[in-house]
Chain A
Amino acid sequence: MTHTPILAARDVRKRYGAVVALDGVSLDVERGEVVCLIGPSGSGKSTLLRCLNALETVDSGTVAFEGRDIRAKADDARLVRRRMGMVFQNFELFPHLSVLRNLTIGPTTVLRLDMAEAEQRARALLLRVGLIDKAMVHPSALSGGQQQRVAIARALAMEPALMLFDEPTSALDPETIGEVLAVMKGLADDGMTMVVVTHEMDFARRVADRVVVFDHGRIIEVGPPAQIFEAPHAARTRDFLSHLGWHGESIDIGIKEKT
């Protein structure tokens, strides 16, 4: 029996001028799996993420989503992006639209959902991320953590098969990181397929099914969190982790506050 992973990157290469961002990266993601990408800044994690939904073109190699090659034409890329949610480091909420409209604009313009249905879906998601009372305000009135929760809800409003997170907590104040991680953990618990670029080792250790360690545009180690964090095989992994402290119990705090 042949088995197709939901997302498959094969020997992906990407360079910006003289800088090699991705130097032959291959990665499979299975349905329902949470994969965390860790590694030093500039090691290619975020570039890979943008290649996975064709925001960035690859120089060589292939990326296939649900068996469909997404490198090809712009139309194909759009079909794929509809099924893949993305959350950005700087939230990238649309500042001229209300929180509710931020959630409905994708479904109404891309999926051609009628407004009533899109709003119903949006309100359910705002309820889920704990921000239903903010539906009518504009993003500028929200804290960073609230904005990122809205951004997650906006991506979910497209009912994606997979979610990409690009350092979702790196631009947040320490006290709001927990609330975002708690929402992400909730998603993972519900079985969402997730690829997460993160510096939150605590999150990676506790939520990831697999952790992928990047360095200089290459994957240097892949394994379950227990292996990566307790008995890493690669010297470079040990090196990288030793430069990081554990970031306390931010998820616990977030979950506690939510309940």
Chain B
Amino acid sequence: MDINFQPLLDSWVFLLRAIGTTVLLSVLSMLVGFVVGVFVGALRTYGGRLVGALLAFYVDTMRAIPLLVVLVWMFFAFPILFGVRIDSMTAAVVALGLHLGAYVAEAIRAGLTSVRRGQMYAALALGMSRTQAIRTIILPQALIRMLPPLGSLFTIAIKDSAIASVIAVPELLRQSQTLAGQTFRPFEIYTSAMFVYFLLCYPVARGTDALYRRLSHLGSS
């Protein structure tokens, strides 16, 4: 087998940009997913029945539709429906973020419910409002408890960013395809891409695990 990494090295700036885009896309969709997930999870736990039902619909929809379909819909159908133009990066961040948010919401909900009721009583007994109690007492404990599943979801978010290649976001997989087409070196290029994804995900998985081991005692009331 003839192996030649030279085309890769020649295009290192191009590929580095692609990795940068993958990281940016991952971080932004994680942020969206996290914020959405915390709000939805908290509102499903503490909100009224109507709010709960609406948000349950959101979570169920996102879990029932393939991410690829959500992404394609967001890029091609959403602009027609609302008469707006959105670039592929924005469409990807929104689609990935909303999709991730549904799963984060479920983890948060499980975490919030697992904190025993006495903690809420204790916070209320100090004169806190329910919102203050959730924000300062219940949620921090829930987040610590839910670090392992959140870590998994964040690595999935990094991997799922590759799906954005279908709407031409210039991220790692998309640019690898371009380069492979130009250089006829698919083996070297896709192997390298695989390696880069691993290098991006592995520290996140290990990092959250290490964090969890350090913090877990702070989340057990």
Contacts and interface: CB of A to CB of B under 8 A. Distances in A.
Interface in A62-99: 74, 78-79, 81-82, 84-86, 88, 90, 92-96
Interface in B107-143: 116, 118-119, 121-129, 132, 136-137, 140-141
A37 interface: no
Given A88-B121, A94-B137, A82 B127 contact: yes
A109 B218 contact: no
Given A55-B121, A92-B118, A110 B221 contact: no
Interface residues of A, number: 28
Summarize B's interface: helix, strand, loop or mixed: helix
B220 interface: yes
A177 B137 CA distance: 27
Nearest to A79: B127
B206 interface: no
Contact of B119 (A78, A85, A92, A109): A92
Interface of A: 50, 53, 55, 74, 78-79, 81-82, 84-86, 88, 90, 92-96, 105-106, 109-111, 138, 140, 154-155, 158
5 contacts: A86-B125, A88-B121, A92-B119, A94-B119, A106-B126
Given A94-B137, A96-B144, A138-B217, A81 B118 contact: no
Nearest to A151: B122
Given A88-B118, A94-B137, A96-B140, A140 B220 contact: yes
B151 interface: no
A95 B220 contact: yes
A83 to B, nearest CB: 8
A85 B122 CA distance: 10
B219 interface: yes
